[in-house]
Copies of this chain bind each other. A is one copy, B any other.
Amino acid sequence: MEISSLKELFEHELRDLYSAEQQILKALPKMVKAARSRQLREAMSAHLAVTEKQAARLDRIFERRGIKLARAKKCKGMEGLLEEGEELMQEEISDDVVDAALIASAQRVEHYEIAAYGTARSFAEWLEDDESVKLLQQSLDEESDADRKLSELAESSVNRNAAEEEEEERTPVSRKRR
Contacts and interface: CB of A to CB of B under 8 A. Distances in A.
Task: Kindly report how many copies of this chain are found in the complex they form together.
Answer: 2
B126 A115 contact: no
Contacts of A101: 3, 9
Interface residues of A, number: 60
Contacts of A163: 6, 126-127
Interface string A1-28: 1111111110011001000000000000
A118 B151 contact: yes
A107 B97 contact: no
A79 interface: yes
B126 A162 contact: yes
A116 interface: yes
Interface string A137-177: 00000000001000100110001101101100100000000
A63 interface: no
Interface string A96-107: 110011011001
Nearest to A87: B76
Given A108-B115, A155-B122, A5 B166 contact: yes
Interface of A: 1-9, 12-13, 16, 73, 75-81, 83-84, 87-88, 91-94, 96-97, 100-101, 103-104, 107-108, 110-112, 114-116, 118-119, 122-123, 125-127, 147, 151, 154-155, 159-160, 162-163, 165-166, 169
7 nearest CB pairs, A to B: A80-B80, A111-B111, A6-B162, A76-B84, A126-B163, A111-B115, A4-B94
